[in-house]
Structure 1
Amino acid sequence: MIIRQPQESDRAAWERLYAGYAEFYGVAQDAGMRARVWGWIHDPAHEVEAVVAEDAAGQLVGLAHFRPFARPLAASVGGYLDDLFVAPAARGSGAAPALLEALRDEGRKRGWSVIRWITAEDNQRARALYDKQARATGWKTYDMPL
């Protein structure tokens, strides 16, 4: 598995993966939304970055979107993993652990204190992996509609 930054030539494959991620979570997403995120990950001034997983056949099979976030109480900066998705046909291929390891390496390189993410409570397959890679916290997440 090769983990790398997405290139312009990856756009169609990335869009298929990201649409699959939105579908998995039941989120209505359109081409304009994907175009905006694609723009973000290719804009050096924007905080959102991405890595993709490429299999031995040269196909993109996974993605991860991440960004730094300030941790005032800890007086540090961490990395926030917003999205992690592996195509259903590639699950169990090692793509997800490879993406997490790449983020761990990137966080160490940047001096981040932690990589943090959330997942759905019923996402049992992903949680089984996450329980091996990280420590579940006791925090409950809230969203305040604006």
Structure 2
Amino acid sequence: MTAIRPLAPADHDAWLPLWRGYLTFYEAELSDEQTALTWHRILDPQFPIHGALATDDAGNAIGFVHWLTHAATWSALPYCYLEDLFVAPDTRGTGAGRALIAHVTGWAREYGAAKVYWLTHETNTTARTLYDRVATGTGFVHYEIGFDS
């Protein structure tokens, strides 16, 4: 059975290979400095970024989720953005992804958020099969304008 718990400082060595696997999956590269900053922000109560770790029956880390909240123009209540979700490839289909989403959803309800939302790549068919079961597709298309650092 999958267990979900908040990320803690001692989880860094278990989280890091999962984080790297997540970046590889999305064919993304981040500097070691950005990865360290992300980790510190997740643990820093001054930042509205939160994280949880999924573990298997043996206590091995098999996935993670990161989320944040923000004010909204269409609601008096804040929104909860599920920014990162990853389950190790060899443990997909075990319910870990569903449990991580349920964890964020429970947290967001308790926090008083109006909704939880997230994005994924259109080719992420395995995850989208789960997402179609637990959430409602909105039909919106994502656009962005990036800036050089």
Q: Distance in 2 between matches of 1:15 and 1:32?
A: 13
Q: Distance in 1 between matches of 2:70 and 2:29?
A: 26
SS at match of 2:4: strand
SS at match of 2:85: strand
Q: Residue type of the partner of 1:134? A: A
Give the corresponding residue for 1:29: 30
| Equivalent runs, 1:1-146 vs 2, <5 Å | 1-146=2-147
Q: Residue type of the partner of 1:31? A: D
Note the C-alpha offset of 1:9: 1.8
**RMSD of aligned Cα (Å):** 0.9
Q: Residue type of the partner of 2:61? A: L
Q: Distance in 1 between matches of 2:69 and 2:6?
A: 16
Q: Distance in 2 between matches of 1:73 and 1:105?
A: 22
Note the C-alpha offset of 1:76: 2.1
Note the C-alpha offset of 1:31: 2.3
Instruction: Give the TM-score normalised by the residue count of structure 2.
Output: 0.94
State the aligned residue count: 146
Query: Deviation per CA, 1:65-96, whole angstroms, max 9, x where unpaired?
Result: 00002121223211000000000111111110
Runs of 4+ in 1 over 6 A off after TM superposition: none
Note the C-alpha offset of 1:30: 3.0
Contact 1:107 1:115 in 2 (8 A): yes
| Alignment gaps of 5+ in structure 1 | none
Q: Distance in 1 between matches of 2:74 and 2:59?
A: 43
SS at match of 1:71: coil
Contact 1:19 1:29 in 2 (8 A): no
Q: Residue type of the partner of 2:109? A: R
Contact 1:22 1:28 in 2 (8 A): yes
Give the % identical residues: 36
Instruction: Give the TM-score normalised by the residue count of structure 1.
Output: 0.96
| Alignment gaps of 5+ in structure 2 | none
